[in-house]
A and B are shown apart, each in its own frame.
Chain A
Amino acid sequence: MMPDQLLKIDKLNVYHGSSHTLQDIDINISNRPKAILGRNGMGKTTLCSALMGLTKAASGSVFLDQTDISSYSPESRAKTGIGYVPQGRRIFRSLTVIEHLKLVEKKDSRWSIEKIFSIFPRLAERRKNMGDRLSGGEQQMLAISRALMLDPKIMIMDEPTEGLAPTIVDDVVELLHSLAEHEIGLLLVEQNISVALEVASDILIMLNGRIVDQVTAEELKSNTQMQQKYLGINFA
């Protein structure tokens, strides 16, 4: 069974120079997938990168599976069980698709190269292509696969469906659903509301570096006022 508190973020603060990008972030993630929504430039990516240890936090702590990983290096965090799909994909330009997968291949992982190829047949077709010679969508699939192969306890995904064709978004959504079956936690940053609502059970709203509200997906779906307030949209 998944622990109740897979990832616990406690009063996390991040600065860029003198600007206070993340302010007292508190988040608890258990077995229910959570999504963060928010307008551009609110600090979502900064949060992901701080969780991964790539951006230095000024204060606050992060626990993964009861372990305090606040002082861990990015590599230790990855080893402890965080899978990271960064915004902008960050594919290695001089590795081929298959080399990307070989790089992170592990013996006792639940995810094998074959399994990945069966989820994303397009990657199998392009297996010998260099990273920078893939289409945007192909890169996105590869970035997700790369993180999965590490067999993480929790996935942090920063806009994983950006640039994907609708059919492939379907595949990704399916995949995200199946994460739960594999008992993998999920923190999802999304701009595609329908994906977020379909995958996550809880929605966090981020505004100017703060988590300003937390609602269930059901609530947000039905509450147009809330949508208007936080997301500035109307569902037709």
Chain B
Amino acid sequence: MKLFFIVFLNGLTLASLYFITACGFTLIFGLMRTVNMAHGVLLLLGAYIGYEVVEMTGFWVLGIIAGGLSCALVGAFLQAFILGRYQGDELRQTLITIAISIILADFLLWAWGGLTYQISLPEMLQGGIRLPLLNVGYSVVRLTLIGMAIVVGVLLWLLIAKTKLGIIIRAGVDDREMLQALGFEIKKIFIIVFAMGAALAGMAGVIFGSALSISPGTDIQFLLSSLVVVIVGGMGSVGGAALGALLIGLAEQYGLAYAPTYGVVFTFLIMVTVLAFRPQGILGRAEQ
């Protein structure tokens, strides 16, 4: 029984991490309909840069900012010069981002090698504390993740639902031409959105690299988990992504604890089941 609760907590903290890593993806994917297959590699890039900055300066927060900023730049570049002109051509964008992720991943391998990296946490987040009721040690940083996820989620939701930028973005997804005909410079707006999504990815990468670790191949895992989370939850819905993350996080941890052999299979079967009955995801809006 104790294990059951611990696993629940594990699922919750993992879900927070998944949510944080999926946020940039929801933003780009949910709002611009760009299937950004380079999301994982952007996370990885942010994490490596964050690592360097933390090693250099010793400030963790600075690492997060640096990871975010560098990815924002890369993202803006990609959208402005490569992806932008194919807006609306989903399949081609998918392919282009796959190509970009192959190139970038190889670049990262070149620059940082194939070793595993962990980013040092600030003193106060290191190590574990004893949980009062369950009487087990628990990692501080994992507990903090829950808080971070909530903050990120609320900010993102406000951005999408409440700001004018949010309205513009949603309109742009529905009918780009019409939005142009209303005087909006859609290209610029999409560059900003992509940069924001990439920045979120970069920052999430630093957090991920601190809580767990990063190495080549992590990018694919990021990408898959983000895809699953966003799709199960419903594209463009922040609440949905949170719900999706929770479902997948819990499934994964319970799977690992109680049925390790087929645990991963279950994760994907959950996704299949959700989508078979709600193709638009749990909280997504139907296409027609």
Contacts and interface: CB of A to CB of B under 8 A. Distances in A.
- Report A-B touching, CB under 8 Å: yes
Interface of A: 52-54, 73-79, 84, 86, 90, 92-95, 99-100, 102-104, 131, 146-147, 150
Contacts of A150: 182-183
Interface of A is mostly: helix
B168 A103 contact: yes
A94 B180 CA distance: 17
Interface residues of B, number: 19
The 7 closest A-B pairs by CB, nearest first: A78-B183, A74-B180, A92-B174, A92-B171, A90-B178, A79-B183, A84-B181
Interface of B: 164, 167-168, 170-171, 173-175, 177-186, 285
B175 A54 contact: no
A92 B181 CA distance: 13
B170 A95 contact: yes
A78 B164 CA distance: 19
A75 B185 contact: yes
Given A75-B186, A102-B167, A103-B167, A54 B285 contact: no
Contacts of A77: 181
Contacts of A146: 182
Contacts of B178: 86, 90, 92
Contacts of B171: 92, 94-95, 100, 103
Contact of A131 (B173, B174, B182, B183): B174
Nearest to A80: B183
Nearest to B177: A54
B174 A86 contact: no
5 contacts: A92-B171, A94-B171, A95-B174, A146-B182, A147-B182
B180 to A, nearest CB: 4
B182 A94 contact: no
B285 A94 contact: yes
A111 to B, nearest CB: 14
Contacts of A54: 177, 180-181
Contact of A94 (B173, B177, B179): B173
Contacts of A74: 177, 180-181
Contacts of B168: 103
Contacts of B179: 92
Given A94-B170, A94-B285, A103 B180 contact: no
B175 A102 contact: no
A94 B181 contact: no
A78 B180 contact: yes
A150 B183 CA distance: 9
Given A102-B167, A103-B168, A75 B174 contact: no
A95 B180 contact: no
Contacts of B173: 94
Contacts of A99: 167, 170
A100 B171 CA distance: 8
Given A54-B177, A84-B181, A103 B186 contact: no
A73 B185 CA distance: 9
Given A102-B167, A103-B164, A92 B184 contact: no
Given A103-B167, A103-B168, 12 more contacts: A52-B181, A75-B184, A76-B183, A86-B178, A90-B175, A93-B174, A95-B171, A99-B170, A102-B164, A104-B183, A150-B182, A150-B183
